[in-house]
Amino acid sequence: MDLGLSGRSALVTAASRGLGRACAEALIGEGANVFISSRDEASIASTAKQIKAAGWLAADVSKPGEPEALVEAATTRLRGLDVLVVNAGGPPPGTFQTTPIEQWEVAFELTLMSAVRLIRAGLPHLKRSDQGRIVCITSISVRQPIPNIALSNAMRAAVTGLAKTLSRELAPDRITVNCLAPDSILTDRIRQIAAASGTDPDERVKEMAAHAPMGRLGDPAEFGAACAFLCSKQAGYISGQTIGVDGGALLGVH
Ligand code: NAD
Q: At what angle do helices 220-230 and 18-29 cross, to 10 degrees?
A: 60
Residues 6 or more apart whose Cβ sits within 8 Å of residue 24: 10, 12, 15, 34, 36, 47, 51, 53, 85, 224
Q: How close is the Cα of 172 to the center of ligand 1, in Å?
A: 31
Q: Which atom of ligand 1 is nearest to the CA of 18?
A: 26
CATH number at residue 116: 3.40.50.720
Q: Which atom of ligand 1 is nearest to the CA of 20?
A: 26
Give the span between the Cα atoms of 197 and 8, in whole angstroms: 42
**DSSP letter at 99?**
S
Compute the mean pLDDT over every residue in the chain, rounded to the nearest whole number: 97
Question: Which residue's CA is the closest to the ligand 1 atom numbered 33?
Answer: 90
Question: Which residue's CA is the closest to the ligand 1 atom numbered 14?
Answer: 89
Other Cβ atoms closer than 10 A to 238: 16
Give the span between the Cα atoms of 80 and 85, in whole angstroms: 15
Strand order in the sheet with 55-58: 55-58, 33-38, 9-12, 83-86, 133-137, 176-182, 242-245
pLDDT above 90 for 60 = yes
Give the binding-site residues of ligand 1, using a 6 Å CB cut-off. 13-20, 38-40, 60-62, 87-90, 110, 137, 139, 182-185, 187-190
Q: How close is the Cα of 62 to the center of ligand 1, in Å?
A: 13
pLDDT of amino acid 248:
98
pLDDT above 90 for 141 = yes
Domain contains 136: yes
Domain contains 252: no
Which residues are registered as beta bridge partners of 182? 245
pLDDT of amino acid 79:
98
Question: Which residue's CA is the closest to the ligand 1 atom numbered 5?
Answer: 89
The boundaries of the domain holding residue 117 are 9-241
Give the span between the Cα atoms of 170 and 147, in whole angstroms: 34
Domain contains 4: no
- Compute the C-alpha angle 179/182/185, nearest 5°: 150
Residues 6 or more apart whose Cβ sits within 8 Å of residue 126: 81, 82, 84, 132, 133, 134, 170, 173, 175
Helix (H), strand (E) at residue 211: helix 201-211
Q: Are 188 and 217 in contact (CB under 8 A)?
A: no
Q: How close is the Cα of 189 to the center of ligand 1, in Å?
A: 7
Give the span between the Cα atoms of 97 and 118, in whole angstroms: 31
Q: Give me the percent of the chain exceeding a pLDDT of 90.
A: 94
pTM of the model: 0.98
Domain contains 2: no
Other Cβ atoms closer than 10 A to 50: 10
Number of domains in the chain: 1
Q: How close is the Cα of 18 to the center of ligand 1, in Å?
A: 7
Domain contains 248: no
Per-residue pLDDT tens over the stretch 148-197: 999 999 999 999 999 999 999 999 999 999 999 999 999 998 888 888 77
pLDDT of amino acid 167:
98
First to last CA, the chain: 28
Give the span between the Cα atoms of 91 and 243, in whole angstroms: 21
Domain contains 224: yes
Domain contains 231: yes
Domain contains 3: no
